[in-house]
Amino acid sequence: MSVILEAKSLSKSVQVNGQQPQPILKDVDLQIKQGEFVTVMGPSGSGKSTLLYNISGMDRATGGEVQFQGKKLTALSEKELSKLRLSSMGFIFQHIHLLKSLNILDNIVLSGFMAKKMPREQVKKRAAELMERVGISSLIDHDITQASGGQLQRVAICRALINSPDILFGDEPTGALNSKSSNDILDILHEINESGTTIMVVTHDSKVAAKSERVLFMVDGSIVAEKHLGKYKRGSDQLSQREQELHTWLTAQGF
């Protein structure tokens, strides 16, 4: 399998109140293969979100480089970077960031219109198909304020997928949800992964990680361990064994 995303010696330092710069990401080397489903775990403050934002070009690293599909992200201008993010990457954030002034359908189609990869009518058709796929087609002309947390997370997924991204990044995509909604969202992510989209997700939830293919463990700005669990087949009976295996491994990491 080819490598879709690679970080070499990626680092990020931040300066607060004119003090010495503090390293929050330290020389991270990482390769993500085309079609992989990778989760990132680790204690609070270990740098998981920072890794996600810097490896995806949402934020600018202070050292090292990132290659995405062979392109050096770290060398692109803001304009080139935002074009690439819009057309090839999807993002599901911890805080959903939907626009309250737009209804649900308009929130989903907006990035599609901006990317101009397809005619507007086709973007709307794709939005309707995606909404159907994640079970929210009845909300098509509803306002954002009329949807539940789980429904909003599905809206965010549709929005992230509108331009058929090659990679989907998620920061706690199931974080604020009850366990039923969380399972549903996870199933949707698996279906997306099975159809070929690479996924990288930050999570505190070992149930989410147990269903991923590879788990990275971060401590203090570095990836200190990783666990290959292999592809999870939806609906199979391997889940409790994977959860047990992951639990043992996480305990060994002191988590």
Name the residues that contact ligand ATP, by CB under 6 A. 14, 16, 24, 42, 44-50
**Nearer residue to ligand ATP within complex by CB, 104 or 208:** 208
Nearer to ligand ATP among residue 24 and residue 108 (C-beta): 24
Q: Least Å distance between CB 95 and ligand ATP?
A: 11
Smallest gap from Cβ 64 to ligand ATP, in A, equals 16
Q: φ, ψ for residue 49 (rounded to 5)?
A: -65, -40
| Residue 199, number of CB atoms within 10 A of its CB | 23
Instruction: In angstroms, give the least distance from the CB of 7 to ligand ATP.
Output: 14
Between 45 and 230, CB nearer to ligand ATP? 45
Smallest gap from residue 123 Cβ to ligand ATP (A) = 32
Q: Residue 108 in contact with residue 130, Cβ under 8 Å?
A: yes
Could you please report the per-residue DSSP string of 52-93?
HHHHTTSS--SEEEEEETTEEGGGS-HHHHHHHHHHHEEEE-
The candidate with the shortest Cα–Cα distance to 73, out of 169, 173, 1, is: 169
**Angstrom distance (rounded) from CA 71 to CA 56:** 12
The answer to whether the beta carbons of residues 158 and 127 sit under 8 Å apart is: yes
Structure tokens at 99: 């626009």
Whether the Cβ atoms of residue 172 and residue 128 lie closer than 8 Å to each other? no
Compute how many other C-beta atoms are within 10 angstroms of the C-beta atom of residue 49: 18
CB of 12 to ligand ATP, least distance (A): 8
Q: Is 114 helix (H, G, I), strand (E, B) or coil?
A: helix
Measure CA 14 to chain center: 23
| 113/255 with CB nearer ligand ATP | 255
Q: How far is the CB of 231 from ligand ATP (least distance, A)?
A: 26
d(CA 60, CA 48): 15
Identify which of residues 1 and 16 has a Cβ nearer to ligand ATP in the complex.
16
Least distance (Å) from ligand ATP to the CB of residue 17? 10
Q: Which CB, 44 or 240, lies closer to ligand ATP?
A: 44
**Cα(20)–Cα(6) distance, rounded to whole angstroms?**
29
